[in-house]
């Protein structure tokens, strides 16, 4: 009988635990141009260790998410900057060197294509003022088909 109670107790505890959750008495996130700081009160241990390109952060509150590409990098010499991000009005796409017929496509998070055009200069500005505040995906490509790189754009 004790085994049944023990098994039942362990199942209840197992189903009540949730991953990636912090229960604290307080905390906040503050954002300014190019920086974001997040904190919680009562978090027992936080430490970040870095070595070269590797960064390890331990603790409950993991505020920085680094996404790694899951597709093969076709043009490793290509260096692209997309800024400012977050933005209010416009975004600048800056290539170190242009590939053959580069272009971009702007999508909302539901996958709807909002804008698509070829890029003719190593620095291109495009306007986001007509779109609502939110998160968008900017896909850079060659000939508007072959993917080069994807960026997440946040518009305030």
User: Which ranges constitute the DSSP H helices of 1-156?
Assistant: 2-16
Q: What confidence tens digit (pLDDT) does each residue in 79-118 have?
A: 888 888 888 889 999 988 777 788 999 998 888 999 998 8
Do 61 and 97 belong together in one domain? no
pLDDT of 68 reads 45
Do 95 and 144 belong together in one domain? yes
CB 24, CB 45: distance < 8 Å: no
- Per-residue tokens: 91: 């975004």
CATH of the domain at 134: 2.60.40.1930
pTM over 0.75: no
Do 31 and 97 belong together in one domain? no
Do 143 and 90 belong together in one domain? yes
Which residues constitute the domain of residue 24? 19-66
- Per-residue tokens: 153: 């754009």
- Spell out a b/e string for 21-30, using b for 16 or more CB atoms within 10 Å of the CB, else e: eeeeeeeeee
- How many residues comprise the chain? 156
Asked if residue 41 is part of any domain, the answer here is yes
82 vs 5, more confident: 82
């Amino acid at each position: 009988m004790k085994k049944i109670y023990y098994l039942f107790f362990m199942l209840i505890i197992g189903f009540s635990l949730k991953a990636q959750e912090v229960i604290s008495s307080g905390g906040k996130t503050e954002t300014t141009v190019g920086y974001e700081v997040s904190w919680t009160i009562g978090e027992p241990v936080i430490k970040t260790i870095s070595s070269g390109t590797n960064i390890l952060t331990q603790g409950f509150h993991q505020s920085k998410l680094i996404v790694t590409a899951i597709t093969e990098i076709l043009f490793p010499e290509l260096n692209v900057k997309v800024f400012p991000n977050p933005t209010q009005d416009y975004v600048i796409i800056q290539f170190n060197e242009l590939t053959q017929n580069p272009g971009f496509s702007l999508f909302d998070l539901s996958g709807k294509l909002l804008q698509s055009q070829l890029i003719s200069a190593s620095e291109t500005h495009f306007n986001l003022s007509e779109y609502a505040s939110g998160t968008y995906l900017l896909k850079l490509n060659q000939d508007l088909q072959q993917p080069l790189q994807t960026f997440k754009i946040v518009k305030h």
